[in-house]
Structure 1
């Protein structure tokens, strides 16, 4: 049976519930996913005095062919984008600056150090997002940055974040699409602290200083990201969820939720509707924690489906800025990007093809029997046939055909890298 024939049969099943599949396609085409560049080089970056990973971040595996130059990384991203339907965004960290071999400290970075990324994004009609890098640096060696008791160290990181916002504003202006600038820090303590309040006061003061610079929100949007714990900060993290939620609401910033930064039984999908009541927008970093914040490649699991449902059924496709954050060096890195991003898009399509209004009606009526029956029935509806047709219409490989492209690229490009 052809893809077209399978699609028509599947489409008819959805239409019985009044679901307009073509309208779902139109909506999905408008959703950009912010794809993280750091999957391609194992979060190494391109600083002249490249540091070992720190700040609770670890990348495991030694699959050959990781990008070691900006051009290689952009080339790899280009290849992944050929396999992913839609137009998307690329998420950069400050360590991906290009300084022509000159050592430039992070608090001295300027827009010119990212001009190659901007030119490439413009050529490929991509948006850019940005993150100051507050890890893998001598001034973060003890796991403290914006909350550090040493004011000189705090001031260094404040200047870095200020420089990052200016870089992001320039990116947004150049590309005609606002850059999301996300602040995440590793600050915390390995063992139970004797004072939780003072570090949080220092963090608040540092954030106030960072955001005191006026930046045009047409070109830059600020976000803050919490974490439950990390390697070296098992007992206490300064920037907790409660801290950043309060700070974001009080200061009109976006609160960014990373799906790996909460207790293992705590679902980010459950937070989305609650937070949208008080925030016009919020941001996501979609990852897959396995027992802890381990940043596995996103799979089409129950929580990913629920995240898609919460965004779609609450009419929040234009309110939730979806980014990805995972890294796996044990498999082909381009395959990792492709699998994770396609799954994120598939979860949104899954949600767009649900009879959401009918299910809401059942709940409001107290008809929990029919609600459960329909929810279970739709778990085995033929979304695969709909997805395949969508990919074909978007001129990207169908099914696992994209693996052939990845293998060919690996033979031609990746295996020739040192």
Structure 2
């Protein structure tokens, strides 16, 4: 008997169908983020500070310097990841001989990405880029006191929505257009209310043109703090939670954008009562929003279990957001994305109805015994079978593939 057949029988004893779990996992796309591949540099000819605490540390060889190099790295990464997935693209990653400013970008500047996505069978997601620009050096954009600067960023946001909608129409899959701004203050402000009113008004103007939700979904993303905005973040969780409820947008929960001791998994069922759809940015904050590559740790397992156990998979868009330049960038993509999939698989392999019934019966002893004993089940054998069926490597073979590719790109200047 193979290790998978043995595992299948063991899970069956618990009332779990491993075949159903594998089939379900195949259908769950992960939106892999382009900015891990080049340390959040992008392909513009703009100047400006990153802002809002965005910083990739390290100088590992092999950083992608052009759209073609980035796409080649992405293609390799996807070839190591089972399933069909998406790419999350920032507006600073345009592919064009032109050098438009942020308020001048158009669909044609991103058309090569759409053509590539069609060829690769990928969906796309999109983000306006409100940082790394001279007009964002004060760490204020949509909430800036200067109307001219606000208008610049409002126009940028309008254009990204139009571009995202065209992408969605071309690909036949709705593009999540996620809005995050770095706005905040390094020291204690006197008037938080005015800044938040300006942000709200700017967002309202930016989102005023209706778009077909079958092509594009608006999402808003909060943050706790960042370097340069330690005292006040204008777009806090409370701000965007209320905004998403009032305006009917998707709400983005970034695991790195809260206090490190907060349980982000706990927030899912709470916000799901008030918003239709949720966007996850899965990351690993170590001391702050440091965006380490995600591990298969308790935080990720809890997040996946909450999404599955509360039947939120159909209402949740899962994206990744980490960047580490101290290790191979492609390896970071591959291991991070696979860890998210492993966490989802583990959740799908739990006897959730039995666990829920024990909880409903207030039988916390049974719940405790089951959750601990379940940790010993052969999840790895089911994961290996999933990868085998999708012709993706595991174990030492995966490590060899990652090393070989890294050696091939290490000579990039």
1:332-411 equivalences in 2 (<5 Å) = 332-411=328-407
Partner of 2:39: 42
Q: Secondary structure of the residue that 1:401 maps to in structure 2?
A: helix
Q: Secondary structure of the residue that 2:280 maps to in structure 1?
A: strand
1:11-410 equivalences in 2 (<5 Å) = 11-49=8-46, 51-100=48-97, 102-410=98-406
Aligned counterparts of 1:380 and 1:201: Cα–Cα separation in 2: 52
Q: Across the two proteins, how many residue pairs are aligned to each other? A: 413
CA RMSD of aligned residues (A): 1.0
Whether the 8 Å CA contact 1:44–1:53 is kept in 2: the answer is no
Aligned counterparts of 1:241 and 1:115: Cα–Cα separation in 2: 34
Aligned counterparts of 1:162 and 1:400: Cα–Cα separation in 2: 47
TM-score by length of 1: 0.97
Partner of 2:410: 415
Deviation at 1:411, TM superposition (A): 2.4
Whether the 8 Å CA contact 2:330–2:406 is kept in 1: the answer is no
Q: For residues 50 and 74 of structure 1, do their structure 2 counterparts lie closer, same or farther at Cα, with a shift above 3 Å needed?
A: farther
Deviation at 1:54, TM superposition (A): 2.9
Whether the 8 Å CA contact 1:146–1:158 is kept in 2: the answer is yes
Aligned counterparts of 2:404 and 2:316: Cα–Cα separation in 1: 36
Aligned counterparts of 2:270 and 2:53: Cα–Cα separation in 1: 29
Aligned counterparts of 1:187 and 1:153: Cα–Cα separation in 2: 13
Whether the 8 Å CA contact 2:219–2:250 is kept in 1: the answer is yes
Structure 2 runs not aligned, ≥5 long: none
Whether the 8 Å CA contact 1:55–1:136 is kept in 2: the answer is no
Aligned counterparts of 1:400 and 1:272: Cα–Cα separation in 2: 36
